[in-house]
Amino acid sequence: MTIAMPRRTVGWGRMRERPADAVPADAAAGAGFDAREAFAAHGGALLGFAVNALQDRPLAEDCVQETFLRAWRARASFDGARGSERTWLFAIARRVVIDVHRARARTPRLVPHDEHPEPIAETTDPLERLGMVEALARLSAPQREAIVAIHLHGVSYAEHAAATGVAVGTLRTRVFYALRALRGILDEVDTTDA
Amino acid sequence: MHDDTADRHAELVAAALAGDLTAAEEAELAALDAAHPDMVAERAEMEALVARLEGVDAWDDVQPSDELAARIADAEADGAPVPAPAAPAPVVSSVHDAGLGGAPAPATAAAPASLDARRRRRRLLLPLAAGAAACLAIGVGIGAAAFGERPVPVVQGPPGTLGAVEDVAFVDAPAGLAITGALVAHTWGTETVLTIDGLPTGEAFTVVVVGEDGTEYASGAMLGSDVTIDCRLNAAVLREDVAAVEIRAASGAEIAHADVVDV
């Protein structure tokens, strides 16, 4: 299919356009994809996923850029009835990050000069870690902050309450529902990858 | 379960998962568990989930930069089936063209004639991007091809412009060593792009970015190779605070340095 579009003299506005001959109107499930709005709404979470998955901000930014590029190209396949735009973008980002992670695993690595040069065996399945990082990235910011403080940094509820001004009971409940959401996201990721 | 009871049960389960229960709360949780065994099963699942969280040892909260938004806006062009603009000079071509005696300057990549060509190029770019912050030692033939696929700078501007590539000249290098380099200013620090020929194979070298106040910022390390080394390294110092970039031997002896202009 040929998509007739003007040259790149138009920026975001053109990404919001749907060329008349690109996708039939009644099949244009992704016609409403607005890259700028999508980036504003989900760019932070996607970047958080990529940065924490790859631990390399420049590379993570490349991944986010690639995610939106692929999303733009595949916008006709997006069906809001089957899932949210956020879920769809994360599915794309997941594939991008996994591809990059695998490519990097085959690439000689740069390490800080004071780091031990011997290879260190990974005790965690890298894909398992990527799934968990994605799930954390998809939580709301308050939920993620609470889980990170309590279960990643080992801060006590009382300490975190003192630091944030949020009551201990509220923090505990927040973490419970964050863990429940995390499990749901992981189930979804596992199902998608199956 | 009544909402208040459910919330209290949830609160106590969360506390139990963190080992944060008082004795009185333990007794209260036991009573609630007895009345609501479904929550016991959920707690067991959450315990397993918390154990899985150990695979993530830290979390870096980040915010997208304006530069990234601009890049994504620009990437939109890759989705358009139009001839690419006349091929601008790839980053590394310009570095080689500095004439410092490195590997022969690769042929400039021809402008992709179609979207497919641009897509092919993009597919090649991604694995290369995977080497960002990494050093690649690549054969001459492969290297030339890879250089041709280097991302084209999308931002132009004087030194210090975020995202713009700024060539820098390394001096005082020993005979037989050819180093060409460039800096890219970012919101999060300064990226150094290096292409090096002639570093003794197997020996370790470090790259240090020196601040205007003399503070040294580690940027990374590499091993010498008998093929071209293609490196992109990052240092946690803003370009405006950078005075020089140095390449050093493992002993700390300076191999070469590049003074940079004030911005």
The mean per-residue pLDDT over the stretch A102-119 comes to 60
CA angle B254, B259, B263 (to 5 degrees): 145
Domain's final residue, options A60, A81, A115: A115
Confidence check: pLDDT of A10 > 50: no
Note down the domain range covering A68: 27-115
- Classify residue A174: in a domain, yes or no: yes
Contact at 8 Å (CB) between B254 and B261? no
| Predicted pLDDT at A18 | 35
- Classify residue A173: in a domain, yes or no: yes
Confidence check: pLDDT of A136 > 90: yes
Confidence check: pLDDT of A125 > 60: yes
Select the residue of A48, A110, A145 nearest B221 (Cβ to Cβ): A110
**Could you tell me if A81 and A151 lie in one domain?**
no
Give the CATH number of domain B83-259; options: 2.60.40, 3.30.360, 1.20.120, 3.40.190. Answer: 2.60.40
Select the residue of B61, B82, B134 nearest A48 (Cβ to Cβ): B61
User: How many domains, chain A?
Assistant: 2
Distances (CA, A) of A114 to A125, A186, B126, B224: 26, 36, 29, 17
The mean per-residue pLDDT over the stretch B140-161 comes to 51
Check B60 against A172: CB less than 8 A apart: no
- Classify residue A154: in a domain, yes or no: yes
> In this predicted structure, which of A82-91, A99-108, B97-106 has the lowest mean pLDDT?
B97-106
**Could you tell me if A107 and A148 lie in one domain?**
no
Paired tokens of B237: 């110092």
Confidence check: pLDDT of B85 > 60: no
Contact at 8 Å (CB) between B55 and A182? no
| Predicted pLDDT at A43 | 95
> In this predicted structure, which of A26-40, A70-84, A124-138 has the lowest mean pLDDT?
A26-40
- The sheet carrying B254-259 orders its strands as B216-223, B204-211, B242-249, B254-259
> In this predicted structure, which of A73-82, B3-12, B73-82, B247-256 has the lowest mean pLDDT?
B73-82
Domain residue limits, chain B: 3-55, 83-259
**Could you tell me if A103 and A166 lie in one domain?**
no
Select the residue of B18, B52, B136 nearest A108 (Cβ to Cβ): B136
The string of pLDDT tens digits covering residues B17-64 is: 999 999 999 999 999 999 988 899 999 999 999 999 988 988 999 999
Closest residue of chain B to A127, computed from CA coordinates: B55
Confidence check: pLDDT of A193 > 80: no
Confidence check: pLDDT of B261 > 60: yes
* Separation in Å, CA of A26 to nearest CA in chain B: 22
**Could you tell me if A36 and A89 lie in one domain?**
yes
The mean per-residue pLDDT over the stretch A136-165 comes to 96
- Between the two ends of chain B, the Cα-to-Cα distance in Å is 65
Burial class (CB in 10 A: 0-12, 13-18, 19+), A39: buried
Contact at 8 Å (CB) between B121 and B149? yes
* CATH at A180: 1.10.10.10
The Cα–Cα gap between A152 and B25 comes to 23
